[in-house]
Amino acid sequence: MRNIFVFTIDQVASRSRRDAVPELLAKLEMSSAIIPFSRTLGDEVQGVVSEPAVAVEITRIVLSEGKWHTGIGIGPLKKEDRHLRRSAEGTSPSFALARTAVEAAKKKPGRAQIAVRGTKDSPVNQHLEALLSLLAGVIAARTPSQWSVIAATQENPDATQSEVAQRLGMTQQGVAKSLATSLWRQENEVLPLLENLFEEAAQV
């Protein structure tokens, strides 16, 4: 039986910030989840997915927000849990692992950290967490200006840097510098590796 991925996502400094759960749930509603993402308690969100590509998509969405601690629990899903509408009612071990993972993420230095825990002590889970932590660091270092260039590039992948610059009122050199310093292309280059690690973790 393949493992699944339980995401437990908790808002950073929730007591001093407005509730961001509704906005996050709206973004995660597009994902193909076994158990839909929903609020569990307070400013926490949880959901379950099975496809590595979807797990990568969710991870990137959450990390780009820059205001969530994320725990990923990897393990089997009990048959009786597969038809739940709220993951908070699940009893599979992977739910507890996601809870352990998000608590581990909160203890890491910096903000918006991520951690992975699996039912088996496999090196692939450690490798997955290491790559995700690196990605989190790269994403957290981006400036609002860099994000605007990335967003414009995503919206029209075929556009030249000059076209993106014209749209944003920047110079072509400014666009090129933003993409280079944000490590946007490098992030995209490691996505297949990240998906492969999720796939390996699903099979442990």
- 66, 118: one domain: yes
Comparing 191 with 82, the larger pLDDT belongs to 191
Question: Looking at the domain assignment, is residue 120 inside a domain?
Answer: yes
CATH code of the domain covering residue 135: 3.30.70.270
pLDDT, tens digit, 9 for 90 and up, residues 91-147: 888 999 999 999 999 999 887 799 999 987 889 999 999 999 999 999 999 999 999
Q: Do residue 39 and residue 53 come from a single domain?
A: yes
Residues 66 and 167 in one domain: no
Residues 53 and 79 both lie in one domain: yes
Domain count within the chain: 2
192 within some domain: no
| 171 and 98 in a common domain | no
> What confidence score (pLDDT) does residue 14 get?
67
pTM: 0.90
For the stretch 28-54, pLDDT in tens is 987 788 989 999 888 899 999 999 999
Compute how many other C-beta atoms are within 10 angstroms of the C-beta atom of residue 91.
10
Q: 5: burial class by Cβ within 10 Å (0-12, 13-18, 19+)?
A: buried
- Decide if 40 contacts 88 (C-beta within 8 A): yes
Q: Which domain holds residue 13?
A: 4-140+198-202
Report the interhelical angle of 144-155 vs 161-168 (nearest 10°): 120
Three-state DSSP state, 71: strand
Each residue's pLDDT tens digit, 169-188: 999 999 999 999 999 999 99
